[in-house]
Amino acid sequence: MSAQENEQELIRVFAPNTKFVYDDIEYESQICSKPHPQTSGGEPITDVYIHAVPTIKGTSSLTLKISLKKIGWEFIKNHMQESDFIDVFFRDSEEQFQFYLQQCKKLLQEIPVIDLGRGRKINGKMGDGSITLGWEMMITNRPRTLSLGILPTQYVRESILGEHMEERRRHAIVDGQRIDDSGTPTHVLEMNIDQNTTSTDIIETMITVEEFIQEQQNQLHVILKANNYRSLSNKSFSGRSDGRRYLFVQNNWNVSNDNCLTRELDFVHPFAANYDSKKSLENAITQIGMDVRNVVLDNFQLCENVPENFC
């Protein structure tokens, strides 16, 4: 089940006109929908927004803003963009940019960035013909090889709740209407929802966002994840790489005077789109004398500053 399918199941359980019990009070759902940003680019943190009214008089209406996670979830922030970084670190964002870029300088110099399909692999996840365009930043609950350390406790709350999130995502659109703070969650639900799941199951399982924040203190890791070009794919332009991704550090590819493939790590333009690195790589492949649709790995000559994925 995908995350999107999980969301649809949650929306089904609390669909408008559905009755359910919360804190011993019966409510009837009026709105149950996924919030969307006011403009494109990035999503609210709330996955499903529910507004319900009591079935008896004298009780206030109820709003539940649920951040939904599948069992075994990993990412708090996936495929981060510059706006996500600024949201999390807020007033400290410039200082943290410099801190993490310095960490990357120490970490990335010797990391393999190309796999020519020979020898025993250093990184078993790199397939033959993989060439690294750069590295995305993510925040996860699992340690990774390319870890930049534990997310400091003062930033955990913002990464989960999004109190400093851009207004276009914080005050999101729900069923065609802008609703203040609809993008910041009140609850977190870790569940794989199916046709047999009831509203009672969900209410008994979810916890408040404040409880979740406390659970995640000293548990979240800032990591880098390689974004790779698939040089052996003879598919279309888009088939050789992922769609738009924002790279905290990218490789700028070129051909040296000796006709070998070289790269320069870019620590100056954090969160540049992967298209820039992809363009430099394909230009370099063409300059070497190969068709990007028919790459021959044996025809690559690598400069000394391009670590290869074999030992």
185-211 pLDDT tens trace: 999 999 999 999 999 999 999 999 999
Q: Are residues 226 and 292 in the same domain?
A: yes
CA angle 262, 245, 98 (to 5 degrees): 70
Alpha carbon distance 101, 4 (integer Å): 33
Q: Is the pLDDT confidence value at 105 over 90?
A: yes
At residue 188, the pLDDT reads: 98
Would you state the pLDDT for residue 260? 94
Query: 58: pLDDT confidence band, cut at 50, 70 and 90?
Result: confident
- Domain contains 304: no
118 and 64 in one domain? Answer: no
Pick the range with the lowest mean pLDDT from 83-97, 98-112, 285-299: 285-299
Q: For the chain, give the percent of residues with pLDDT over 90.
A: 86
pLDDT score, position 243? 83
**Domain boundary residue among 215, 235, 255?**
215
* Shared domain check, 147 and 224: yes
Are 282 and 241 in contact, with CB atoms under 8 Å apart?
no
Judgement on whether residues 225 and 133 belong to the same structural domain of the protein: yes
Whether 157 is covered by a domain: the verdict is: no
Residue among 55, 87, 51 at smallest CA distance from 177? 51
Phi, then psi, of 13 in degrees rounded to 5: -65, -35
Say if CB 146 and CB 135 are below 8 A apart: yes
Q: Is pLDDT above 90 for 47?
A: yes
User: What is the model's pLDDT at position 234?
Assistant: 66
Q: 161 in a domain, yes or no?
A: no
Same domain (yes/no): 38, 86: no
Q: Residue 307 falls within a domain, yes or no?
A: no
224 and 147 in a common domain: yes
Closest residue by Cα to residue 69 from 190, 162, 161, 185: 190
Sort strands 62-69 and 187-190 into parallel, antiparallel or unpaired: parallel
Same domain? For 82 and 192 the reply is no
Q: 141 and 36, same structural domain?
A: no
The predicted pLDDT at position 92 comes to 96
- Give me the pLDDT at residue 125, please: 87
Confidence at residue 169, expressed as pLDDT on a 0 to 100 scale: 94
* 291 and 225 both lie in a single domain: yes
In a domain, 42, yes or no: yes
159 in a domain, yes or no? no
Per-residue confidence band for 293, with pLDDT thresholds at 50, 70 and 90: confident
pLDDT band at 236 (very low <50, low <70, confident <90, very high): low
pTM (predicted TM-score): 0.90
Nearest to 88 by CA among 163, 167, 148: 163
pLDDT band at 240 (very low <50, low <70, confident <90, very high): confident
In which domain, by residue range, is 64 found? 3-69+166-215
Counting residues of the chain whose pLDDT is more than 70, the rounded percentage is 98
Integer Cα distance of 255 and 251 in angstroms? 13
90 lies in a domain?
yes
Question: Is 247 found in the same domain as 128?
Answer: yes
Closest CA to 154 of 75, 74, 89, 83: 89
Q: Residue 237 has what pLDDT?
A: 53
Query: What is the spatial distance between Cα 132 and Cα 112, in angstroms, rounded to a whole number?
Result: 8
pLDDT value at position 155? 96
Kindly state whether residue 158 falls inside one of the protein's structural domains.
no
pLDDT-derived band of residue 309, with 50, 70 and 90 as boundaries?
very high
Last residue of a domain, one of 215, 233, 249: 215
Distance CA 207, CA 185 (A): 11
Within this chain, do residues 137 and 55 fall inside the same structural domain, yes or no?
no
**How many structural domains does the chain have?**
2
